[in-house]
Amino acid sequence: MSIKSRFSLVFLTTGLMLLSPQVRAAKPEGTPYTFKTVENRELKLYVTKPKQWQASDQRPAIVFFHGGGWVGGAPGQFTEHSKYFASRGAVCFQVQYRLLNRSKSEPPTACIEDAKSAMRWVRSRAKEFGIDANRIASGGGSAGGHLAAFVGTSEGVDSEKDNLSISPKSNAMLLFNPVYNNGPGGWGTARVKDDYKKFSPAHNLTPDDPPSIVFLGDQDKLIPVATAEQFRDTLRKHGVQSELRIFKDQGHGFFNHGRNNNKFYRETVIACDEFLQGLGWIEGPATISP
């Protein structure tokens, strides 16, 4: 093995170790649906609906993608988020996607394909789920944040079996310490290598991108604050609404339910609530306090 290959493997392994808080996810809740069959596997998404839901509704939706370095994790990471936003009137989806082999340095093609398939599946069934096809947000943490950002900003990497006439593009992005810069010096370069412009949301920002809110700890070892600031500033230069919330002394995965007595889970959820209220998607006061 060459020195470069050893370095790439060490970098990849170290990153996965740092991502471990994302991997330990709760069991997903919600009604399961098979949205895709690929490689002899049925991929599920889990749906959480508001109590007063009716099929005739025109509700906003949030599609969540779990973290885990593209190699681990489970949809249950966003179960509590889904319950909360269902209480605020949104229909929430937690997506299962194919994971990469830990011992190989393959790019996240399968992960992205499945994320885009899930978005198309949800949008194509808007009437069935009582949602507004023009108010579907993507949300995710870490590598799931990458997927949530990709479906909002980037073209290509589509499954050949998808109906490409259905847009997978999200209408808003809720991004929790997302690894959305995969270029030189960013996270995931060991997998995408020189093809980073194909996979990196930060390198595909355009004026038609949806509004976003990003949460990041200033002690995150994977995502420098400067990376998040550049993402925000580039979108703003394009005339796109983009917010960035920095949390002092916090590292990767600080926002997860069950950590820090849920202090930062609550703070980030309330910030998302305010963000969605600003878009006119939900209304009324938040149902939890900081």
What pLDDT, in 10s, does the model give residues 106-149? Answer: 999 999 999 999 999 999 999 999 999 999 999 999 999 999 99
CA distance 194 to 104: 16
Nearest to 12 by CA among 200, 199, 191: 191
For position 13, what pLDDT does the model report? 43
Cβ count within 10 A of residue 58: 12
For position 12, what pLDDT does the model report? 46
Least reliable range by pLDDT among 18-32, 117-131, 151-165: 18-32
CA distance 100 to 69: 9
The token duo for 105 is 């340095």
CATH class in words for 3-278: alpha beta
pTM value is 0.92
For position 259, what pLDDT does the model report? 94
Q: Residue 5: is its pLDDT beyond 50?
A: no
Q: Are 275 and 243 in contact (CB under 8 A)?
A: yes
Q: Residues of the chain with pLDDT > 90: what percent?
A: 89
What pLDDT, in 10s, does the model give residues 238-275? Answer: 999 999 999 999 999 999 999 999 999 999 999 999 99
Q: Residue 8: is its pLDDT beyond 80?
A: no
What pLDDT, in 10s, does the model give residues 193-212? Answer: 999 999 999 999 999 999 99
Name residue, tokens 């002899």.
Answer: 40
Name residue, tokens 């489970």.
Answer: 74
**What is the average per-residue pLDDT within 177-201?**
96
For position 6, what pLDDT does the model report? 45
**What is the average per-residue pLDDT within 215-233?**
98
CA distance 230 to 250: 20
* Extents of the domains making up the chain: 3-278
As a whole number of Å, the CA-based R_g of the chain is: 18
**What is the average per-residue pLDDT within 17-42?**
76
Nearest to 41 by CA among 114, 143, 120, 104: 114
pLDDT band (50, 70, 90) for residue 24: low
- The chain-wide mean pLDDT, for the chain, equals 92
pLDDT band (50, 70, 90) for residue 14: very low
What pLDDT, in 10s, does the model give residues 32-55? Answer: 999 999 999 999 999 999 999 999
Residue 32 pairs with which residues in a beta bridge? 46
For position 1, what pLDDT does the model report? 46
The token duo for 17 is 């170790």
pLDDT band (50, 70, 90) for residue 27: confident
